[in-house]
Amino acid sequence: MTMPAVEERVDRLEESIDRFIASVGVEFNKLYNSQMRTEAELRAFKEEMRLYREDTQSFKDEMRVFKDRMDTFRENSEQDRREMNRKWGDLANKLGTMVEDLVYPSLPRVIQQTVRQEPDRVAIRVKQRGPDGRRKEFDAYAVTADLVFLNSTKATLRSADVDGFISEIATFRDYFPEYRDLPLIGILATLAVEESVLTYAEKQGFLVLAVGDEVMEVKNHPGFEPKRW
């Protein structure tokens, strides 16, 4: 083989090597860049995982705090419930003696003030057997020479209690036929009465008593005349 031919083959070989090296370089750069991206994504993923773990731990801490607060709230609620039940029990006991402690001592004075008559009989918490054989309890009643007074006592007086008292008056006459011919005056007693309920009770013709300067005092407006049922 002649020298020019050898040189030509060497040149072609060098060109092939250069192209191969260039091709390998391009692929290497691609691989390197891909690896760099992978490593960057991996670092980002690790950072996200770290933040996630921190958020998870923070959430767990918040849940523990929330659970502690809920436990405290439940404990306090249970204590409040027990205390409220105790207070309601105390109030119920006090209201259970309201007729005896407040209404009964005031009835003679109220009757004297309103109709200028002295009661011959005042009775409280009277249980009476009716014509059907059933027993019913009435809070209080009083009798004068020509009138009978029936009392219903409520801790909180509502309009519905006023309506119910009308039925109780009719029931009273069934249970006490000896007073059937006497005109009856209805007396509603309570601790305190709202103006709207007082007005409604007056329209029905009832005397209304509530706690005042003289233990129980008449709350009806001046000039009110109770209805004779």
**Lowest mean pLDDT segment, chosen from 49-58, 79-88, 175-184, 216-225:** 79-88
pLDDT, residue 150, reads 95
Model pLDDT, residue 92: 46
User: Distance between CA atoms of 178 and 176, rounded to whole angstroms?
Assistant: 5
Q: In terms of domains, do 70 and 38 share one? A: yes
Q: What are the tens digits of pLDDT across the range 125-171?
A: 888 887 777 888 898 999 999 999 999 988 888 999 999 999 899 88
Q: Which residue has the tokens 């013709």?
A: 205
What percentage of the chain reaches a pLDDT higher than 70? 76
- Indicate whether 227 belongs to any domain: no
Per DSSP, what are the bridge partners of residue 151? 140, 187
Rounded distance, CA 55 to CA 41, Å? 20
Identify whether residues 110 and 27 lie together within a single domain: no
Exposed e or buried b per residue across 147-179, where buried means at least 16 C-beta atoms within 10 angstroms of its C-beta? bbbbbbbbeebeeebbeebeeebeebbebbeeb
Cα–Cα dist 111/92, whole Å: 28
103 and 202 in a common domain: yes
Paired sense of beta strands 148-153 and 121-129, if any: unpaired
Which residue type is seen at 96? G
- Which of 105, 95, 99 is closest to 124 using CA atoms? 99
C-beta separation of 114 from 226 below 8 A: yes
156 and 171 belong to one structural domain: yes
pLDDT at 111 over 70: yes
Q: What pTM did the predictor assign?
A: 0.57
> Which of 224, 172, 164 minimizes the C-alpha distance to 188?
164
What secondary structure letter does DSSP report for 133? S
Q: Please indicate, yes or no, if residue 226 is contained in any of the structural domains.
A: no
Domain boundary among 81, 96, 111: 96
pLDDT tier, 4 (very low <50, low <70, confident <90, very high otherwise): low
Last residue of a domain, one of 96, 111, 128: 96
* Domain-located, residue 182: yes
Please count the other Cβ atoms lying within 10 Å of the Cβ belonging to residue 79. Answer: 10
How many separate domains does the chain show?
2
Containing domain of residue 30, as a range?
Answer: 1-96
Q: Are residues 67 and 162 in the same domain?
A: no
> Bigger pLDDT: 10 or 187?
187
Residues 102, 78 share a domain:
no
Mean pLDDT of the residues in the chain: 79
210 and 117 part of one domain: yes
pLDDT of residue 88: 47
86, pLDDT greater than 60? no
CATH number where 143 lies? 3.40.1350
| DSSP H or E stretch at residue 143 | strand 135-143
Residue 114 neighbours by CB under 8 Å, 6+ apart: 185, 207, 218, 226
Residue with tokens 């006459």: 173
Q: Are 186 and 142 in contact (CB under 8 A)?
A: no
pLDDT digits (tens, 9 = 90+) for 39-81: 778 788 788 888 877 777 877 777 788 787 887 777 777 776 6
Residue 137 per-residue DSSP state: E
Mean pLDDT, residues 96-124 taken together: 84
Residue 223 belongs to some domain of the structure? no
189 and 157 housed in the same domain: yes
| Residue scoring higher pLDDT (75 or 96) | 75
